[in-house]
Amino acid sequence: MVPIPAEADEDARRRVRERAELISERVGLVNRIGAVLATLGAGEYNPLRRDRRQRLDELQTALGDSLPTNAHAKIARMLDRLELLLIQITELEQSRDAVLEDENPDRASSMIQQLAKLRGIGVQSATVLVREGFVREFANGKALGSYAGLTATPYSSGGIEREQGIGKAGNARLRTVMVELAWLWQRYQPGSAQVRWFRERGGTGRRVRKVMVVALARKLLIAVWRFATQGVVPEGAVMKPAS
């Protein structure tokens, strides 16, 4: 049974998901602008630069002509939408970062502040971990791993019992951030118990490492959950220097 979070925690999660949706829309708009320019053979153009309007006016086609009127107008309208997206993303990120400065945090904000103290975990990763997972009350680490879709799927048929691998039937956002964090953990926390375990069993093959990093993500998820909820520092982990 998946524990149901409080209504306030459920509502706070919308900000995390809205930012992801806006980022996806931003990528889509940038690609569409690039597609229009590619058909005209225009030069390199980055619509995320602050001087995007000025550089748009200076662009030329492959024949050395100015951009056609309708193509220029279409890109300008897409820039209008892109600039609105950038403003909204900035507002959400400022709200996210303000949690770190909150002197009277609630339980969720307190866990975000706690996680952000670990080297290798930024405010975005900490926010996703807490809002998507840690605000729920899990009986144990195995239940949390199952919710994240990081546990193996059992197979039983008569006298045959075996594991079928990771089922991925869980919270995709939580699982994604944990796999990313598992790779980062090897760089920023090389002396931790989880990284030592991974290096002892990970092997050198690319496929083996991709499989084992999921197992590392599961172990790491339980470790950071205990750190956020119980204050138990992961074995061998290093904290960020005090600012």
Please report whether residue 18 resides in a domain. yes
Please report whether residue 191 resides in a domain. yes
* Whether 78 and 129 share a structural domain: no
- Choosing from 98, 117, 136, the residue where a domain stops is 98
DSSP 6: P
Please report whether residue 69 resides in a domain. yes
Token couple for 115: 């996680």
* Whether 211 and 128 share a structural domain: yes
Please report whether residue 240 resides in a domain. no
- Asked if residues 164 and 153 have their Cβ atoms less than 8 Å apart, the reply is yes
Q: Which band of pLDDT confidence, cut at 50, 70 and 90, is reported for residue 93?
A: very high
* Whether 79 and 133 share a structural domain: no
Assign 3-class secondary structure to 114-154.
HHCCECCCCHHHHHHHHHHHHCCCCCCHHHHHHHCCCCEEE
* Whether 94 and 155 share a structural domain: no
DSSP 41: T
* Whether 148 and 199 share a structural domain: yes
Q: Please give the distance of CA 148 from its chain centroid, rounded to a whole number.
A: 14
* Whether 115 and 221 share a structural domain: yes
* Whether 131 and 93 share a structural domain: no
- Return the ∠ at Cα 27 (arms to 23 and 33), rounded to 5°: 145
* Whether 129 and 74 share a structural domain: no
Is it the case that residue 156 has pLDDT exceeding 60?
A: no
Mean local confidence (pLDDT), 209-221: 88
If phi over 0 gives left and psi between -120 and 50 gives alpha, with beta otherwise, what is residue 215?
alpha
Mean local confidence (pLDDT), 113-133: 96
Mean local confidence (pLDDT), 12-32: 96
pLDDT for 152 equals 67
* Whether 116 and 36 share a structural domain: no
| CA–CA separation, 190 and 238 (whole Å) | 9
DSSP 46: -
* Whether 126 and 200 share a structural domain: yes
* Whether 202 and 179 share a structural domain: yes
Please report whether residue 236 resides in a domain. no
* Whether 110 and 199 share a structural domain: yes
Give me the domain span that covers residue 82: 7-98
- Choosing from 98, 126, 155, the residue where a domain stops is 98
The strand ranges marked E within the chain are 152-157, 160-166
Between 137 and 162, name the one with better pLDDT: 137
pLDDT for 166 equals 62
- Among the listed ranges 168-177, 186-195, 219-228, which one has the minimum average pLDDT value? 168-177
Please report whether residue 2 resides in a domain. no
| CA–CA separation, 153 and 171 (whole Å) | 15
Residue 146 identity (one-letter amino acid): S
Q: Which band of pLDDT confidence, cut at 50, 70 and 90, is reported for residue 164?
A: low
Is it the case that residue 232 has pLDDT exceeding 60?
A: yes
pLDDT for 224 equals 97
Please report whether residue 241 resides in a domain. no
Number of structural domains in the chain: 2
- Choosing from 64, 98, 132, the residue where a domain stops is 98
Which has the closest alpha carbon to 5: 104, 124, 147? 147
Please report whether residue 65 resides in a domain. yes
- pTM given for the model: 0.86
- Asked if residues 171 and 133 have their Cβ atoms less than 8 Å apart, the reply is yes
